[in-house]
Amino acid sequence: MKVQFKIHSEPITKARPRMNTRTGKAYTPAKTKMFENFVALSYGNRHYFNDEYIRIKLKFKFKVPKSYSKKKYKEAIEGKIRPTKADIDNYIKAVLDGLNGKAFKDDRNIVGILAEKEFAEEACIEVSIESI
């Protein structure tokens, strides 16, 4: 089984847990939690990968900065310049945590990941999940 879908959002990194100073308990920052919920909504009611081994492909597409010259913009769209804004593993973690329990039972069943960052005219995240 293979499922492909698109998350229509600027990629967001997984933020580190914060500590509530009054209660002493850790919590996920609101921006991260909202993004994870949006990822789950974007997945919808597609196939649920129960105890299957799965492989995931993620393509993080970032909008080209407005400050880029026409030449640099063209190079970015052609893939000659890639985004280096943040570590790719933090983007991956945010998406996987949003899909955990919604698309698959647990992310420990993921046995392969291929992820890329690139510039595009519109920001989004393309996701492909397949059982192997």
**Residue 61: which of 85, 32, 83, 87 has the closest Cα?**
83
Tell me the three-class secondary structure of 55-107, residue by residue: EEEEEEEEECCCCCCHHHHHHHHCCCCCCCCCCHHHHHHHHHHHHECCCECCH
pLDDT one-digit tens code per residue, 84-96: 989 999 999 999 9
pTM, to two decimals? 0.91
* Residue 127 one-letter amino acid: V
pLDDT one-digit tens code per residue, 25-53: 888 889 999 999 999 999 999 999 998 99
Spell out the domain ranges in the chain: 2-131
Q: How confident is the model at residue 15 (pLDDT cuts 50, 70, 90)?
A: confident
* Residue 48 one-letter amino acid: Y
2-131 — its CATH code?
A: 3.30.1330.70
